[in-house]
């Protein structure tokens, strides 16, 4: 009775496997899994072995039999060492930072070798990406492998599969070690345009991000004061918010960067000009707000505010573009 139960379970698994839709992902190595492929040179080597085998059988020549067996042994040894060269490697997740259109997005992967043997000829591969030259990974060491892709337009670069490859030592087999997919990368608009920054203030004073001058005292907190100027020691002592004051800490008024103020005609030209304004104003340590059709971001001056505004420019109209 037990064999019949096992047979039924096997039939169910085979039936479920056959019902799955066909996909090329079935042939991709999963994360941490090594798969082997024949290289073009490897196919030529296989053809040489087959020719030798046919000649040995046809002529009943023991010397050709021995040479064919030697070639087959070399191929098997090469297969083993090629596979071992990528086995048991520790991989981190791919990392990438946002870029501007026209630059190259760089994905970075840290590879660690926990074995007491070196690894040779390692490179990363992904569709449409530039790879670094083959690298050597010393025993017990680690290295960083990068992939680069030219960014043509703003928007979100979608994830795509990637893997590590090596043809060491003979070049007739290629080992592929699966990694996680390349994460999505945000591409900001290319900063461009020569239109001057419009001096349209937000109706309140802004503070310089890096306060300078001598400390002059404290005053009661007023709405709009930055958190970096609040005296938390005074709050713990008096249970009331106070703002620290410095000589020269008062900056110029905050600005509004509005879509309607850009004189360019095209959408991409407008976004590039807004990006240019944003970087210029941020470099002057001034607070600024962003106003796009259907979106309004209140003035601020921190790095997180800059990233938030750049992300809004990068993803503007993305739904309409992808639909």
Q: Where are the domains of the chain?
A: 26-188, 189-209+252-323, 213-247
- Give 160 or 286, the one with higher predicted confidence: 160
* Residue written as token pair 């309409």: 320
Q: Which fold has domain 26-188?
A: Immunoglobulin-like (2.60.40)
How confident is the model over 223-272, as pLDDT tens digits? Answer: 777 777 788 777 777 777 888 776 443 556 788 999 999 998 899 999 99
pLDDT at 120 (0 to 100): 96
Q: Supply the pTM of this predicted model.
A: 0.74
Distance of CA 91 to the CA centre of its chain: 14
pLDDT at 20 (0 to 100): 59
Q: How far apart are CA 166 and CA 34, in angstroms?
A: 11
| Nearest residue to 206 via CA among 221, 220, 223, 226 | 226
Q: How many CA atoms lie within 13 A of 1 on its CB side?
A: 0
Handedness of CA 80, 84, 86, 87 (dihedral sign): positive
How confident is the model over 218-237, as pLDDT tens digits? Answer: 777 777 777 777 887 777 77
Q: Of 15-19, 29-33, 129-133, 165-169, which one has max mean pLDDT? A: 165-169
Q: How far apart are CA 99 and CA 107, in angstroms?
A: 11
């Amino acid at each position: 009775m037990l064999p019949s139960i096992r047979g039924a379970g096997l039939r169910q698994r085979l039936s479920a496997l056959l019902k799955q839709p066909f996909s090329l992902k079935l042939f991709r190595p999963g994360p941490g899994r090594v798969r082997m492929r024949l290289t073009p040179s490897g196919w030529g080597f296989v053809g040489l072995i087959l020719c030798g085998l046919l000649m040995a059988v046809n002529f009943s020549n023991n010397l050709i039999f021995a040479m064919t067996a030697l070639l087959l042994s070399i191929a098997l040894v090469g297969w083993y060492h090629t596979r071992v060269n990528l086995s048991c490697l520790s991989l981190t997740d791919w990392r990438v930072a946002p870029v501007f259109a026209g630059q190259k997005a760089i994905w970075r992967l840290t590879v660690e070798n926990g074995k007491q043997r070196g690894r040779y000829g390692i490179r990363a591969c992904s569709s449409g990406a530039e790879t670094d030259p083959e690298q050597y990974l010393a025993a017990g060491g680690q290295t960083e492998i990068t992939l680069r892709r030219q960014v043509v337009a703003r928007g979100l670069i979608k994830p795509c599969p990637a893997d590590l490859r090596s043809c060491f030592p003979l070049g007739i087999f290629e080992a592929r070690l699966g990694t996680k997919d390349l994460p999505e990368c945000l591409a900001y608009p290319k900063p461009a345009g020569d239109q001057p920054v419009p001096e349209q203030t937000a109706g309140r004073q802004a503070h310089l991000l890096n306060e300078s001058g001598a400390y002059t005292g404290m005053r009661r907190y007023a709405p709009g004061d930055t958190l970096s100027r609040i005296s938390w020691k005074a709050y713990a002592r008096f249970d009331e918010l106070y703002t620290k004051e410095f000589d020269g800490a008062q900056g110029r008024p905050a600005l509004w960067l509005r879509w309607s103020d850009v004189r360019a005609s095209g959408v991409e030209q407008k976004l590039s000009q807004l990006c240019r304004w944003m970087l210029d104003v941020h470099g002057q340590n001034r607070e600024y707000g962003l106003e796009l059709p259907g979106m309004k971001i209140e003035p601020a001056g921190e790095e997180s505010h800059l990233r938030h505004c750049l992300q809004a420019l990068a993803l503007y109209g993305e739904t309409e573009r992808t639909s």
